[in-house]
Amino acid sequence: MHGELRSTEWYSGDDRNAYIHRAWMRRGTPDSAFRGRPQIAIANTASDLTPCNSHLDEIAQSVKNGVYEAGGIPLNLPVVSLGETQVRPTAMLWRNMMAMATEEMLRANPIDGVVLLGGCDKTIPALLMAAASVDIPAIVIPGGPMLTGHFRGEALGCGTDVWRLSEEVRAGTLSETLFNKSESSMIRSKGHCNTMGTASTMALVAEALGTIVPGLAGTPAPDSRLLEMSHHTGRLAVDLVHQDRRPSSFLTKASFHNAIVALAAIGGSTNAVVHLLAIAGRLGIDLSVDDFDRIGSDVPLLVNLQPAGRYLMDDLYRAGGFLAVMKEVRDLLDPSALTVTGKPLTDYLDEAQIWDPDVISRRAAPLQPAAGISVVRGSLAPGGAIIKPAAASPHLLKHRGQAVVFDSIEDFHDRIDDPDLEIDETSVMILRGCGPMGYPGMPEVSNMPLPKKLLEKGVRDMVRICDGRMSGTAYGTVVLHVTPEAAAGGPLARVRTGDWIELDVRNHRLDVDVPAAEFAARGVNEATVAGFANPRRGWERLYVDHVLQADTGADLDFLVGSSGSEVSRESH
């Protein structure tokens, strides 16, 4: 241990304040608990309204056992939790609130280290943002994916199959009755979504970053090995305090390099881009959206999981797991990046093995030779926008088509199935007002469903452009995170239906083919620019006034960076 425990500032001494701090915590706890034993918070996002995390109390119990066994004192700390499918208008609006509230509770309480229990999409990013800003020893346990559900003899992928089946209903190839019948088969067990959506992606990427015991991420939620690893993580948390291993001591640009390689190799969610940028921002690490293109775009796709592929998360675990994937791209990893255990990620790869090459492809036969996130820029996205080519239609990656513009998601829903809407498969669908400020909260709406009349013709993909995000379980030729967003005065606000749009992913371009002077002189529809972003009070007001654009992670401007764990004043 390097110096005194942080918690001794609360508990040591015989004065009135130390008495108060100890006495209210006693409740049967022996005096020895407050004498030099690491106090380990378990930041627990278990909540009945975050169904993907509702089993985390069971994991917390295993962590507690491990902490206690190693000589620490485990302390359950319920924190803000976000159920992706439940909270409105979008969980992303609350990610920064969760990060801020967690950061303040970690700083305000007498703790020396923290185990972060997350799962559903925003929970691991928010927990990591908080821990990075407080910079006390911290380690993540992802709650794990659910087991695969089946319907009519076929595996159901969370999210991805909801989009797919609902498109089938709109196309008239699946009855509404059967669609609704599939509902109770979708979620087979405890755990988060089982596709390579945002939750799975962030768990694996957090392991690549080094914040999880290597080999843990991706363990299915009902698998007893998750509890064993959680026990081990509890023990390790106590050790981290003794070693004073804080996030800032091992998270470097090299860690993010490895996370970007992992993101590409697993075919992970585009949402990881904003989350990794935000976490890096908390650590003062210079990471840009272009790093994702530079480091990741030539990394092969090795994991055959929905939405880009066929299988689901328990197949990945069965096939050898995340470390088997990393072993295949070992030469692309930065071996200098350490994990929370003190050893580099690359030290954990020797024993990893692929058991099913249909799920995890070997490097020599990748599913796609280059799978990472691509960045496009141009007159329609001067600050950049991203696209995931692995989930797109190859023939649309270079495309010229006329814009069909929607001013909001409500406008989109009102008009998309209008038989008189002038649109065909060559059109470029544009949805604006969905950025961080504009919605507010940057919802997952960019993967707009196609018009019914085109679905009925058999069209299954079109170029779509939006300043919002898309679900990690979605697929299609979708250009998203357009920066600056329309509500911030970006060029997207000046596009009109009928303008020619040019997308050229290979050459990193996204342009509107309107003479620059004419385009700049166009007036902007004030309703579009303001969007719905004029909240009167509360968190939404604070958010809209301070949120940054997607290219820097959509954090709040005053939350970027670290303020450390010091608390300067006593409470009484």
Q: Name the site residues for ligand FES (rule: CB under 6 A).
A: 52, 84-85, 120-121, 158, 192-193, 197, 199
Smallest distance from the beta carbon of 391 to ligand FES, in angstroms?
17
3-state secondary structure 180-246: HHCHHHHCCCCCECCCCCHHHHHHHHHHHHCCCCCCCCCCCCCCHHHHHHHHHHHHHHHHHHHHCCC
**What is the rounded CA–CA span in Å between residue 511 and residue 43?**
45
User: Beta-strand (E) ranges in 488-530?
Assistant: 500-504, 509-512
Strands 478-483 and 463-466: parallel
Q: Which of 104, 153, 107, 125 is nearest to 45 (CA)?
A: 125
CB of 203 to ligand FES, least distance (A): 10
d(CA 518, CA 506): 28
Q: Closest separation between CB of residue 308 and ligand FES, Å? A: 17
Closest CB to ligand FES among 165 and 199?
199
Q: How far apart are CA 214 and CA 162, in angstroms?
A: 32
Structure token pair of residue 182: 């599939």
Nearer to ligand FES, 121 or 555 (CB): 121
Q: Is the peptide bond before 440 cis (omega within 30 degrees of 0)?
A: yes
**Residue 413 in tokens:** 């829903």
Q: Are the CB atoms for 455 and 354 separated by under 8 Å?
A: no
Distance of alpha carbon 485 from alpha carbon 281, whole angstroms = 20
Which residue, 193 or 396, has its beta carbon nearer to ligand FES?
A: 193
Query: In sequence order, what are the beta bridge partners of 368?
Result: 301
Amino acid symbol at 280: A
Q: What is the nearest approach in angstroms of ligand FES to the Cβ of residue 159?
A: 6
Length of the chain: 572
Minimum CB distance to ligand FES, residue 191 (Å): 8
Residue placing its CB nearer to ligand FES in the complex, 118 or 320: 118
As measured in angstroms, the least distance from the Cβ of 466 to ligand FES is 20
Q: Provide the minimum distance between the beta carbon of 64 and ligand FES in the complex, in angstroms, as a whole number.
A: 24
**How big, in percent rounded to 5, are the helix, strand and coil portions of the chain?**
40, 15, 45
Output 93 or 486, the one with its CB closest to ligand FES: 93
The distance of closest approach from Cβ of residue 50 to ligand FES in the complex, given in angstroms and rounded to an integer, is 7
Q: Which secondary structure element, helix H or strand E, spans residue 411, and what is its range?
A: helix 409-415
Separation between Cα atoms, residue 120 and residue 193, nearest integer Å:
8
First to last CA, the chain: 29
- Nearer to ligand FES among residue 52 and residue 272 (C-beta): 52
Q: How many CB atoms lie within 10 A of CB 166?
A: 14
Which is nearer to ligand FES, 84 or 207 (by Cβ)? 84
Closer to ligand FES by CB, 195 or 255: give it: 195
Strand ranges across the sheet with 39-44: 73-78, 39-44, 113-118, 138-142
CA distance 282 to 560: 5
Given the complex with ligand FES, which of 124 and 285 has the nearer CB atom? Answer: 124
CB of 85 to ligand FES, least distance (A): 5
Least separation, in Å, of the C-beta of 150 and ligand FES?
A: 18
What single DSSP character describes residue 34? G
In the bound complex, what is the minimum distance in angstroms from residue 413's beta carbon to ligand FES?
Answer: 21
- What is the C-alpha separation between 155 and 312, in angstroms, rounded? 8
Judged by CB, which is closer to ligand FES: 85, or 565? Answer: 85
20 SS3 class: helix
As given in the structure block, the two tokens for residue 331 are 């030469």
What letter would DSSP give residue 422? -
Using the minimum distance from each CB to ligand FES, give the nearer residue, 85 or 562. Answer: 85
Looking at the Cβ atoms of 49 and 108, the one nearer to ligand FES is 49
The CB-of-452 to ligand FES minimum distance in angstroms stands at 26
